[in-house]
Structure 1
């Protein structure tokens, strides 16, 4: 859902540069350079970028999509891939139970490595 169909939080900015025609600036190029990256490239660290106001996944900018009257509307999107800790712990417990049943309990370091491997597999 875009910002025109629901509630949103907004910030308004004023540019102190006077005498600049906004149509002389390469707005589309600047937006494309700072567009939100594809969600598939997101890792555990956050990625931030602009999206069109009509849809959160729309990063194909045109002036018709972002200019409404004298106003430039954009959405700042922050993406981060995470796995719930409870899910990681559930898979870890399965592996720990299997190791204990085999009579080979894991050391603290091996448990930490296993937990990291489980998290990487789930991402």
Structure 2
């Protein structure tokens, strides 16, 4: 698990709204309702959803529950099919050459723009069907006492995906705890204007 790695990147969040007590009992069910869906047998480019922090193959939390002490622990799994541009270009050239040969045999001198686009789409689907999706897992730790959430990544695209899926799953909005946000959270809204007017100091 990344949470047990020697070094890692962490993004800290706070839940904007007040969390109803009844939600904690619903978390396991909501995780399952928004769990990861496998795309190995499809041509889909991407799939994401929740999975067990202890085992990325466990989308039913059969191996272990998400409750660990006063924490809710789960992972965001993202599977992505990546077709190298050079491979896609090569197979497009082959398909277009075959199409042009067939077109000339039928007395046509060129391939229409719409047909070229259709051929490229068909090539991409064929390549995806032959390509296995690459899995990535990002652990999340939700403190039920403070409402704070830790996400084990600083990747901006993954953070956006996590925030959106968290909101979809639990109906709660997350705010990243930047140094500015943490200062406001600790000192109160009355310090906002002072913080906004702070200037960096050069100690050299």
TM-score (ref. length: structure 1): 0.68
Distance of 2:118 and 2:22 partners within structure 1: 57
The alpha-carbon deviation at position 51 of structure 1 amounts to 1.0
The alpha-carbon deviation at position 118 of structure 1 amounts to 0.7
- Residues 80-119 of structure 1 mapped to structure 2, 5 A cutoff: 80-99=80-99, 104=104, 105-119=110-124
The alpha-carbon deviation at position 17 of structure 1 amounts to 3.9
Find the residue that maps to 1:26 and give its secondary structure: helix
Distance of 2:23 and 2:103 partners within structure 1: 71
Quick check: 2:38–2:47 contact (8 Å CA) kept in 1?
no
Quick check: 2:88–2:124 contact (8 Å CA) kept in 1?
yes
How many pairs align? 119
Match for residue 122 of structure 1 among 111, 114, 127 = 127
Aligned to 2:167: none
TM-score (ref. length: structure 2): 0.46
Q: CA RMSD of the aligned region, Å?
A: 3.3
**Deviation by residue 1:5-52 (Cα, 9 ceiling, x = unmatched):** 42353545457347x3776x13322221111112335723x4331111
The alpha-carbon deviation at position 80 of structure 1 amounts to 3.8
Pair 17,120 (structure 1): closer, same or farther in 2 beyond 3 Å = closer
Q: Does 1:3 align with 2:8?
A: no
Distance of 2:27 and 2:63 partners within structure 1: 8
Higher normalized strand content (fraction of residues): 2
Distance of 1:28 and 1:4 partners within structure 2: 20
Aligned to 1:26: 26
Structure with the larger RCO, 1 or 2 (CA within 8 Å, 6+ apart):
2
Distance of 2:62 and 2:99 partners within structure 1: 57
* Structure with max Cα Rg: 2
Aligned to 2:66: 66
- Structure 1: any 5+ residue segments left out of the alignment? none
Quick check: 2:103–2:111 contact (8 Å CA) kept in 1?
no
- Runs of 4 or more, structure 1, over 6 Å off, are none
- Structure 2: any 5+ residue segments left out of the alignment? 105-109, 129-204
